[in-house]
């Protein structure tokens, strides 16, 4: 099967074509520092061809949810070194996903500061988890052009910090309604300056950020995650095929490690302008390796690889609940079911106590 075949990503040989997708777990300290349990969590899943970490805050301002890790100070970098060293000792490859939540946050999590965004438009119809329970979203502060440049510099610094921490590369989280995605979408970006108003301008923030990170850490170490059809966090595009075609063409000019596409389902009746399959629509436009994501099983993942567009399939909750997922796929073994009550926050329960096959069979 193609799932179990080795491949090359970013100059690294991967043992298989199964990636561990980034998943927020909220097990860091209040200061964004990961601990021994996080080291074990990732090393337990080192049989993945590629590990992509949970989203990591690039700055204090970037933080939107409690107990999420950072990579913007010395203590945080040193803590991540423990993770990367342990993963590398077991033969793994690990990328850091870099995160700025933008308007997907709350002042209760940000020391009283309001979230920032391309435009002063609040998320409606959802609530955000805070230290005081679910809260309605606040209207964010619209970023000035100068503030945008500072955030791009924060991404660059975070990429440098990630390499210092021992990561093999970085992935820009430009999906699922977070800050880069907010710049891409008309529903959250109503600017009239160089960062809004046209497809090219809405793409600018992402492209400038990617360019700065490539300049900082070199070729084949920078990747990006995109979700052209996700409507979560009030994200909508009027012409995603046109806009993301331009974006993929521009990304072709950069020496990237891969492009990670979330193939998110949507309401066909409500969004008839959306492509039915983002991997097929946009994956064909690039020479970069494609990582396909969103609800794949062993069978559907293999079928996706057989099409010849995607080079890897990323699995989220399946890897969360099955640290030895490749072995379970190989043997067609029963899968552990994820405990959704322990996904976000808590202690080691539902984090590092999911059984391996060897433990199940004893």
Confidence check: pLDDT of 362 > 80: no
Q: Is the pLDDT of residue 352 over 60?
A: yes
What pLDDT does 361 receive? 58
Report the share of the chain in percent with pLDDT over 90. Answer: 95
Overall average pLDDT of the 54-73 stretch = 97
pLDDT digits (tens, 9 = 90+) for 101-115: 999 999 999 999 999
Pick the catalytic residue from 155, 178, 258, 354: 178
Asked whether 91 and 46 are in contact (CB, 8 A), the reply is yes
**Structure tokens that stand for 177 in this block:** 């309604």
274 is catalytic: no
Q: How far apart are CA 257 and CA 279, in angstroms?
A: 17
Mean pLDDT over 69-89 rounds to: 98
pLDDT band, residue 29 (cuts 50/70/90): very high
CATH numbers and ranges of domains, the chain: 2-360 (3.20.20.70)
pLDDT confidence of 269, banded at 50, 70, 90? confident
How far is residue 124's CA from residue 103's CA, in Å, rounded to a whole number? 11
Q: Would you say 311 and 14 are in contact if contact means Cβ atoms under 8 Å apart?
A: no
Structure tokens at 243: 């806009």
Encode the chain in three state secondary structure.
CHHHCCEEECCEEECCCEEECCCCCCCCCCCCCCCHHHHHHHHHCCCCCEEEEEEEECCCCCCCCCCCCECCCHHHHHHHHHHHHHHHHCCCCEEEEEECCCCCCCHHHCCCCCCEECCCCCCCCCEEEECCEEEECCCCEECCHHHHHHHHHHHHHHHHHHHHCCCCEEEEEECCCCHHHHHHCCCCCCCCCCCCCCHHHHHHHHHHHHHHHHHHHCCCCEEEEECCCCCCCCCCCCCHHHHHHHHHHHHCCCCCCEEEEECCCCCCCCCCCCCCCHHHHHHCCCCCCEEEECCCCHHHHHHHHHCCCCCEEEECHHHHHCCCHHHHHHHCCCCCCCCHHHCCCCCCCCCCCCCCHHHHCC
* Cα(257)–Cα(159) distance, integer angstroms: 14
Residue 28 has a pLDDT of 97
pLDDT band at 359 (very low <50, low <70, confident <90, very high): low
Residues 6+ apart with CB under 8 A from 43: 83, 86, 87, 90, 92
pLDDT grade for 95, boundaries at 50, 70 and 90 = very high
pLDDT at 127 over 70: yes
pLDDT of residue 266: 87
Give this prediction's pTM.
Answer: 0.97
The pLDDT, as a whole number, for residue 267 is: 87
Which carries the bigger pLDDT value, residue 191 or residue 129?
191
């Amino acid at each position: 099967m193609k799932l179990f075949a080795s491949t090359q990503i970013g100059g690294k040989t991967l043992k298989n074509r199964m990636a561990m997708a980034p998943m927020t777990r909220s097990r860091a300290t209040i200061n964004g520092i990961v601990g021994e349990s996080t080291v074990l969590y990732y090393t337990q899943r080192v049989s993945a061809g590629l590990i992509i970490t949970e989203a990591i805050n690039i700055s204090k301002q970037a933080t939107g949810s409690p107990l999420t890790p950072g990579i913007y100070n010395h203590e945080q970098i040193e803590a991540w070194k423990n993770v990367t060293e342990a993963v590398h000792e077991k033969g793994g490859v690990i990328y850091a996903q870099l995160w700025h939540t933008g308007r997907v946050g709350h002042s209760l999590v940000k020391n009283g500061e309001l979230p920032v965004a391309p435009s002063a438009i609040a998320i409606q119809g959802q609530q955000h988890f805070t230290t005081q329970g679910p809260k309605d979203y606040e209207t964010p502060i619209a970023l000035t052009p100068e503030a945008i440049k500072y955030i791009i510099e924060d991404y660059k610094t975070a990429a440098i910090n990630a390499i210092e921490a021992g990561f093999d590369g970085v992935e820009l989280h430009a999906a699922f309604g977070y800050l880069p995605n907010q710049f891409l979408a008309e529903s959250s970006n109503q600017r009239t300056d160089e960062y809004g108003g046209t497809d090219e301008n809405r793409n600018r923030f992402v492209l400038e950020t990617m360019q700065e990170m490539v300049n900082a850490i070199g070729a084949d170490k920078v990747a990006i995650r995109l979700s052209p059809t996700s409507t979560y966090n009030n994200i909508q595009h009027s012409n995603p095929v046109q806009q993301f075609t331009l974006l993929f063409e521009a990304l072709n000019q950069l020496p990237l490690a891969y492009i990670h596409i979330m193939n998110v389902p949507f309401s066909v009746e409500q969004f008839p302008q959306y492509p039915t399959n983002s991997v097929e629509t946009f994956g064909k436009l690039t020479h970069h390796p494609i990582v396909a994501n969103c609800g794949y099983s062993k069978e559907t993942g293999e079928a996706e690889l057989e099409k010849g567009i995607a080079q890897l399939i990323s699995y989220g909750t399946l890897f969360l609940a099955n640290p030895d997922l490749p072995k379970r796929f190989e043997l067609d073994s029963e899968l552990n079911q994820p405990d959704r009550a322990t996904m976000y926050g808590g202690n080691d329960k539902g984090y590092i106590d999911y059984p391996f096959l060897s433990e199940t069979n004893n």
